[in-house]
């Protein structure tokens, strides 16, 4: 499993880089893990959601970008985010959708429990998910999400996309809900736990160099009204 450097980027660049990770990574047979941060406060929303639904409630000075994965609206102000791309040949690509969430979040759970943080996996939805406010996606847990044991508040969630290139999973972890977390330790532990779960030992690599046309084209896509406002 290739472990990329953690970079801080704009919302457009982060979404473009995650899609490049899936579609244009130089070694398509490798699992790749990309932790990333945000250089601006932004919201992202799922590929099949309506732009107007969220633009009406997200302040207009805050960037709103459509992901290539599913899910609802997520605020990226105080979260830890990561992307994992899994080749089409891997058994997890061919497995049930819920299994991918389960495998990744079980590795995540292991790392947080090692720090004695009070979290657990959800086996069934806690409540329905009607849209009410910008953070509702973060407020309602789905199967295999992580929540606080004390009150069920959602700690971590993810969204997926499957194409001929493989499986992309984009995940986030709420930092405010894990006030006692040593994030430096987590940054080291999580790739090891993922590598073990995916049977692919982690190898630290440099940021990939993409073809310029692929890079520019992907950035232009996620920056365009044609993509963000298409529904």
Q: What is the pLDDT of residues 134-177, one digit of tens each?
A: 445 555 677 789 999 999 999 999 999 999 999 999 999 999 99
User: Does the pLDDT of residue 127 top 70, yes or no?
Assistant: no
Asked if residue 152 belongs to a domain, the reply is: yes
* Tens digit of each residue's pLDDT (9 = 90 or more) over 43-52: 999 999 999 9
User: Does the pLDDT of residue 219 top 60, yes or no?
Assistant: yes
Q: Which domain holds residue 140?
A: 2-204
Give the CATH number for residue 185: 3.30.930.10
Asked if residue 221 belongs to a domain, the reply is: no
Residue that wins the pLDDT comparison between 188 and 131: 188
Asked if residue 226 belongs to a domain, the reply is: no
Asked if residue 210 belongs to a domain, the reply is: no
Q: Which long-range contacts (CB under 8 A, 24 or more apart) does 88-92 make?
A: 88/164, 88/165, 88/166, 88/167, 89/29, 90/31, 90/166, 90/167, 90/198, 92/167, 92/198
* Tens digit of each residue's pLDDT (9 = 90 or more) over 54-72: 999 999 999 999 999 999 9
Asked if residue 91 belongs to a domain, the reply is: yes
- Per the structure, the count of domains in the chain is 1
Q: What's the predicted TM-score (pTM) here?
A: 0.92
The per-residue pLDDT of the chain, averaged, comes to 92
| pLDDT at residue 128, as a whole number | 55
Q: Which whole number is the average pLDDT over 8-13?
A: 98
Asked if residue 214 belongs to a domain, the reply is: no
Asked if residue 87 belongs to a domain, the reply is: yes
* Tens digit of each residue's pLDDT (9 = 90 or more) over 86-126: 999 999 998 888 899 999 999 999 999 999 999 999 875 55
Asked if residue 228 belongs to a domain, the reply is: no
Among 147, 143, 174, which Cα is nearest to 160's?
143
Q: Which whole number is the average pLDDT over 181-210?
A: 97
Among 68, 81, 70, which Cα is nearest to 42's?
81
């Amino acid at each position: 499993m290739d472990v990329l450097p953690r970079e801080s980027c704009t919302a457009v660049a982060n979404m473009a880089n995650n899609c490049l990770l899936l579609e244009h990574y130089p070694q398509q047979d490798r699992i790749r893990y990309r932790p990333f941060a945000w250089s601006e406060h932004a919201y992202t929303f799922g590929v099949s959601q309506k732009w107007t639904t969220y633009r009406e409630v997200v302040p207009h000075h805050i960037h709103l970008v459509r992901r290539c994965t599913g899910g609802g609206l997520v605020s990226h102000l105080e979260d830890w985010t990561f992307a994992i791309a899994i080749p089409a040949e891997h058994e997890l690509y061919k497995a049930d959708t819920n299994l991918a969430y389960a495998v990744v979040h079980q590795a995540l759970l292991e790392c947080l429990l090692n720090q004695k943080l009070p979290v657990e996996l959800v086996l069934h939805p806690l409540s329905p998910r009607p849209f009410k406010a910008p953070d509702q996606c973060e407020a309602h847990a789905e199967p295999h999400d992580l929540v606080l044991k004390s009150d069920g508040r959602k700690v971590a969630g993810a969204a997926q996309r499957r194409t001929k290139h493989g499986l992309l999973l984009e995940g986030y972890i709420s930092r405010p809900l894990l006030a006692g977390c040593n994030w430096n330790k987590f940054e080291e532990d999580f790739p090891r736990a993922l590598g073990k779960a995916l049977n692919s030992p982690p190898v630290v690599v440099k940021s990939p160099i993409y073809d310029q046309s692929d890079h520019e084209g992907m950035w232009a896509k996620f920056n365009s009204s044609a993509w963000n406002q298409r529904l």
